[in-house]
Chains A and B, each alone.
Chain A
């Protein structure tokens, strides 16, 4: 059942999407083929998919850690920007220098930048009880304006014809390709590594267990000496750090500079990815590929059958709608299964439990 919901959701999206776009006067079946099938049989597109999926997977992994603990960080977009900006700051300061230490320093700065931005909702939540959904959302817009300010003013490339963007990064500031001759940059294996690490931490370590318990049963966790405040901090630092990491990886990789068009909604799309992946890092890797497919395939469908770009958004939204709708199937099973006390002990089942954690945790079950 764990896997059933996403599979059903994707299947429903394909069927309903085909019908809907046929009704709207487009080639519905062709749209499905072009978006979801053909790119998979084109080796070039696989590179595109991996490159597009990497930041989505990395951000979603960080968010999922928080979501499971019932910490609703929707500020990944801003944390992604700040990560990119922090790394860019290092890059601009070291434009005239060389050495292998520059890129690692940039990446570190990216992580710290994302964490710093996420620390704002964390402080507000732990000291004042401010709702993190709202504060982290608002900070996204502040981050975008900060980016615009730096691009227009202090960080503008002096040789760039007054266009609002930074200078190109040097070779020492650019992410290397892991497979020569392809587009696969270092960010791709890093995203996979991060997801695998997160999977291990969440399922096999005490901290991961405590995080899930906080999400499932905050009071029980408090009895166990694991405070809500540390959970909030861990959740937001994981989310912010990974979003910031993804940000600097994108800036130093595919972008190769900082531009005002840097934010493209990855922070929001990653929320879809996190849910589509059922808040499981392994599922997230797969979900990121599916979302990447909608982008890459959507572009193909525009050229081959003239499908408008708006269709991509409609497909993404439908997929999430259907996933959220079919989720209830999973939840019912788990809720009924939770009565059995031993499920929490067995490692294999603990995973299943945790997957539903974020959802059952916020669902109030009331007996009237």
Chain B
């Protein structure tokens, strides 16, 4: 039977770890709520911009824009990868990196140059370890990405796309579907494909007057909807990261609980047998003196 004192020491250290994981779980929960609120707030903008596009389409304007057109050129592609700056969030980063490698390899087959843009320290080191060198890295995005910070990145990509230096842009991130389901996905953001997906559902039936003209509004709406799409990816990634961390820390805490229970039992047994052993020794001694 193991030494009772060693067992007690071990139990104490597990208790300390449990305290840490429990706190991290609580922090992640609080951050998740905040990130969630921000994501919902952004949804209202997205919904309205879709409405504007839908009204444009209904008014008979041909929805045409360089950003919407499918490119035949296969020279340059870019892949943005959104990972976290910190670990201890279960399979969150691993899943994205797996998706990234698959997508990067398939893009490399059909495109001549594939640029890899990685956000998050975890992704940067992990991909470096797997011999995928990143062309551009960002580490400034934590759990509250700001639109002002993402706008310059989006604008730069837009410029490159319009100038023809970029033919396709993919983003690998963890999509938030519900609070119990998040999936690592790769989405194509440029060319945009279509901006007003939910056109029929909105059912706006009005004759709009356009200032200055439908075309000019379209010219503004389309880049904006790309920016907001990219922003939404960052927001989704932030929310998913917090959920992943919450879940990982919750199971770590539960694991620690189990360990403490088992260690306590072994410790008590060890202590009891130690006491029994001591009593036996004393009795033995007394018996020896008697005779």
Partners in one complex: no
A interface residues (Cβ-Cβ under 8 A, vs B): none
B interface residues (Cβ-Cβ under 8 A, vs A): none
